[in-house]
Amino acid sequence: MPLWLKQTPTGIELNLHCQPGAKVTKVVGLHDGWLKISLQAPAIENKANELLLVWLSKQLKIPQKQIQFLSGQNSHKKRIEIWGPITPEHIMQILAPGLVKNSP
């Protein structure tokens, strides 16, 4: 399993490196082993964090209430927890289908 994805007793933890102020919200690759996501919203007034939760909910097809921040609300490096009927493998297929699964 890649470094950015971890199964926990309560759900699935994502380690994301977010880059606000981009032209398009999308996965752009890896950054120090964390999944790098560009966010269209600016990093002011919590807009980028809100967009990230909405975008993850839409991409993963799970309710937004099943996604929460563990840490990093004020940082580029964010830890997110997801719970519900979704597997780490399914998350990899949706968010990072083109990335090498066993990154160093």
Q: Read off the pLDDT of residues 42-61 as tens digits, 9 standing for 90 and up.
A: 999 999 999 999 999 999 99
Which residues contact residue 64 at a Cβ distance below 8 angstroms, ignoring those fewer than 6 apart? 53, 54, 57
pLDDT at 103: 44
Q: Is 104 among the domain residues?
A: no
Whether 52 is covered by a domain: the verdict is yes
Confirm whether 46 is domain-assigned.
Answer: yes
> Whose CA is closest to 41, among 56, 51, 31, 27?
51
| The total number of structural domains that make up the chain | 1
| Domain-embedded: residue 48 | yes
Domain coverage including residue 16:
5-95
- Residue 103 belongs to some domain of the structure: no
At residue 98, does pLDDT exceed 50?
Answer: yes
**Has residue 100 been placed in a domain?**
no
Is residue 23 situated within a structural domain?
Answer: yes
Torsion sign across C-alpha atoms 59, 24, 30, 65:
negative
Examine residue 83 and state whether it is found in any structural domain, yes or no.
yes
pTM across the whole model: 0.92
CB count within 10 Å of CB 89 equals 11
